[in-house]
Amino acid sequence: MTTLLYDGSFDGLLTAVFEVFEYRYQDVEIAGKQNFYQENIFAEIHEVITQSDKADRVFQKLEENIGRSGVHQLLKTFLSEDQEREHLILSAVKQSIKHSDKNILQNYADEDMLKISKICKSVDRERHRMTAFVRFEKMQDGVFFAKIDPDFDVLPLIRKHFKDRYQDQKWMIYDLRRNYGILYDLENCEFFYPEEKLDLHQYQQKFHDEEQNYQTLWQRYFTKTNITERKNLKLHVQHVPKRYWKYLTEKW
């Protein structure tokens, strides 16, 4: 067994996939360095250095065989952080090369392709909920800040939605679990990676003077428009799962 260790990035994974074919590895697995634990001391380790030219060649080949939408499905599989994501993506690449005339991702008789389909549905659901449940809070510097804690790494999938929707104001969305975020400054919309995790206590001290008033008004509106006699908690939780409540202003 040969284990290819990559840096945890999508380009790194595509580079590893390229080298599986380049070095003609047969009995092989791909693993991120941050999650790898060597159980077999006799296993061969191959460290992958991310190379954009190799990643681009794999990307282009996939576009030819499964289309841009198919590549997007593999990206969502990667962002799911599923323990088998490297295996599933390598399996999809191998099958796309072997059956270049077919859309292998629609072959649900194959266990790996079926799992990719299920993963993509879960990621899409989480992406949709993030666009619906994000709550921005105005900070002292005028930037609108939102914190999220999604089950999957969906920030790359929601960036365009928020960039298109809020073009007239500065905003940031920060993933508490993965310690990185998106910053839009009216011109550029880029990812940022702070050295330290967000301190929630210090963060609340940096609210704009108007923010608490806005939050109070919104909470009162939510309370007043709620009809007690028509309360259906079961249906409510079905549409707004409780794990999202801690970041919804109206639920505080």
How far apart CA 139 and CA 171 sit, in angstroms, is 10
**Claim to verify: residue 115 and residue 195 sit in the same structural domain:** no
**Claim to verify: residue 229 and residue 148 sit in the same structural domain:** yes
**Claim to verify: residue 108 and residue 164 sit in the same structural domain:** no
Q: Which of 126, 150, 172 is the last residue of a domain?
A: 126
**Claim to verify: residue 42 and residue 109 sit in the same structural domain:** yes
**Claim to verify: residue 150 and residue 197 sit in the same structural domain:** yes
**Claim to verify: residue 119 and residue 138 sit in the same structural domain:** no
**Claim to verify: residue 72 and residue 112 sit in the same structural domain:** yes
According to the model, what pLDDT value does residue 40 have? 59
**Claim to verify: residue 19 and residue 118 sit in the same structural domain:** yes
Residue-range definition of the domain harbouring residue 203: 134-251
Q: Which pLDDT band, with edges at 50, 70 and 90, does 166 fall under?
A: very high
Q: 30-64 pLDDT, tens per residue?
A: 999 877 666 656 678 999 999 999 999 999 999 99
**Claim to verify: residue 65 and residue 150 sit in the same structural domain:** no
Domains in the chain: how many in total? 2
**Claim to verify: residue 94 and residue 149 sit in the same structural domain:** no
Q: For residues 42 and 77, which has the higher predicted lDDT (pLDDT)?
A: 77
**Claim to verify: residue 94 and residue 152 sit in the same structural domain:** no
In DSSP notation, 33-99 reads: GGG-----TTSEEEEPPP-HHHHHHHHHHHHHHHHHHHHHHHHHHHHTT-TTHHHHHHHHHHHHHHT
Q: Is 196 helix (H, G, I), strand (E, B) or coil?
A: coil
Q: Which pLDDT band, with edges at 50, 70 and 90, does 89 fall under?
A: very high
Mean pLDDT, the chain, integer:
90
According to the model, what pLDDT value does residue 92 have? 97
Q: 147-159 pLDDT, tens per residue?
A: 999 999 999 999 9
How far apart CA 225 and CA 222 sit, in angstroms, is 5
Query: Are residues 71 and 96 in contact, defined by beta-carbon separation less than 8 angstroms?
Result: no
**Claim to verify: residue 143 and residue 237 sit in the same structural domain:** yes
Token pair for residue 149?
Answer: 């804690």
In which residue are the tokens 């880029």 written?
A: 190
